Copies of this chain bind each other. A is one copy, B any other.
């Protein structure tokens, strides 16, 4: 069965979804951007068959089986609701919604629907993060004592850098943490099996004013090219807007299983492009990983430190791995492997629907899906909420 996909949104990550859809054996049926004209341009660019007038139209279209939500964050909740109501499976970019509470509601709606719901927390799909998880779960590093790391970028380091994510009405109250800190927390919780239970945080908006014109460091493909910009736009170039979302966050935390940790998140660290780095220190060994260099995992030990490569992998990591060690694993390979898992679930859902009576919500007895779901995204939303609250109160707070 060729899974028929629609993509709401037309920026950089929409192109990544389109690529992954094809690799997973799906078809990019339709695309919807912010205007009908942009939808047409996006459909041509992404190789989609159809350009939809609007995302809400796409969400309920009979042409698609699954909706990929790649719009600015504020639209996630409404589109997910519409798609689920129309019986569509949903792949929604994180954050699932702007608050933990609303995210919980979407989790509940998805569960009731019995439809496949997924969020591309794609760092779970690098073979060596899976390997880290399997080794930690197998007890190779011993009891976990300390978890620490950072997630650093530089694309918002300058006052002239701007983006819809900076605006809380569009991107949500948290920016740096919701955007990348959430990935870090999801990944280390997933690998360690620990959950962050309590935290204290500080958050800073180091650039309280940014250019209104908005310079997108990685050319958002929806943005007008310079050639088409009007004099009016140039005139507003020097206009500034006030910024309230955070550029950087620091967190201390404790886990439900007694480990402690620290995390630094920043989108204003010059020279750091997408550095997701973590170290988990166990009683026997440590495991550390740099997402910018997914070809190696470091397994530290007092007498011996090992570089683990994509050879001789554990079964779980071997399941993901598709090219021999030394042939680099890309970011889009993570996306493809994620989408393959999700589409397998969609095909399985269709098959069960075709051959049996209606499939209800997943029961407690069923194992959790292999892929990250709305529930995982809601989990990161609650951590994000706790970070903002703690930073405002300057005190330790429990994560709900």
Instruction: Using CB atoms and an 8 Å cutoff, list the residues of chain A in contact with chain B.
Output: 12, 15-16, 19, 22-23, 25, 47, 141, 145-146, 148, 150, 152-155, 157-158, 200-202, 204, 206, 217-218, 247-248, 250-252, 254, 260-264, 266, 268-275, 279, 281-286, 291-295, 298-312, 322-333, 336, 394-396
Contact indicator B294/A324 (Cβ below 8 Å): no
In the docked arrangement, what's the CA distance between A121 and B150, Å? 27
Which of B200, B270, B282, B284 contacts A286, CB < 8 Å?
A: B270
Closest to A248 in B: B146
Give the residues in chain B near A308, CB-CB below 8 Å.
Answer: 304
Give the residues in chain B near A328, CB-CB below 8 Å.
Answer: 291-294, 328-331
Contact indicator B268/A145 (Cβ below 8 Å): yes
In the docked arrangement, what's the CA distance between A31 and B141, Å? 43
Give the residues in chain B near A310, CB-CB below 8 Å.
Answer: 273
Q: Distance in Å from the Cβ of A277 to the closest Cβ of chain B?
A: 11
A270-B324 in contact given A22-B22, A250-B252, A250-B260 (Cβ < 8 Å): no
Give the residues in chain B near A47, CB-CB below 8 Å.
Answer: 25
Listed A/B pairs (11) with beta-carbon separation below 8 Å: A12-B324, A154-B300, A200-B252, A218-B324, A250-B261, A252-B262, A272-B286, A294-B328, A322-B332, A328-B329, A395-B395
Q: Distance in Å from the Cβ of A354 to the closest Cβ of chain B?
A: 20
In the docked arrangement, what's the CA distance between A19 and B340, Å? 12
Give the residues in chain B near A332, CB-CB below 8 Å.
Answer: 322-323, 330, 332-333
Contact indicator B145/A206 (Cβ below 8 Å): yes
Q: Distance in Å from the Cβ of A250 to the closest Cβ of chain B?
A: 4
Q: Distance in Å from the Cβ of A77 to the closest Cβ of chain B?
A: 26
Copies in the complex: 4
A273-B324 in contact given A248-B260, A252-B200, A268-B146 (Cβ < 8 Å): yes
Give the residues in chain B near A324, CB-CB below 8 Å.
Answer: 12, 155, 217-218, 273-274
Give the residues in chain B near A264, CB-CB below 8 Å.
Answer: 146, 148, 262
Give the residues in chain B near A283, CB-CB below 8 Å.
Answer: 157-158
Contact indicator B269/A300 (Cβ below 8 Å): yes
Contact indicator A269/B252 (Cβ below 8 Å): no
Give the residues in chain B near A331, CB-CB below 8 Å.
Answer: 323, 327-330
Contact indicator A327/B274 (Cβ below 8 Å): yes
In the docked arrangement, what's the CA distance between A290 and B303, Å? 21
Contact indicator B330/A329 (Cβ below 8 Å): yes
Closest to A284 in B: B270
Q: Distance in Å from the Cβ of A222 to the closest Cβ of chain B?
A: 15
Contact indicator B323/A157 (Cβ below 8 Å): no
Q: Distance in Å from the Cβ of A138 to the closest Cβ of chain B?
A: 16
Q: Distance in Å from the Cβ of A382 to the closest Cβ of chain B?
A: 21
In the docked arrangement, what's the CA distance between A279 and B272, Å? 11
Contact indicator B325/A274 (Cβ below 8 Å): yes
Contact indicator B285/A271 (Cβ below 8 Å): yes
Q: Distance in Å from the Cβ of A269 to the closest Cβ of chain B?
A: 4
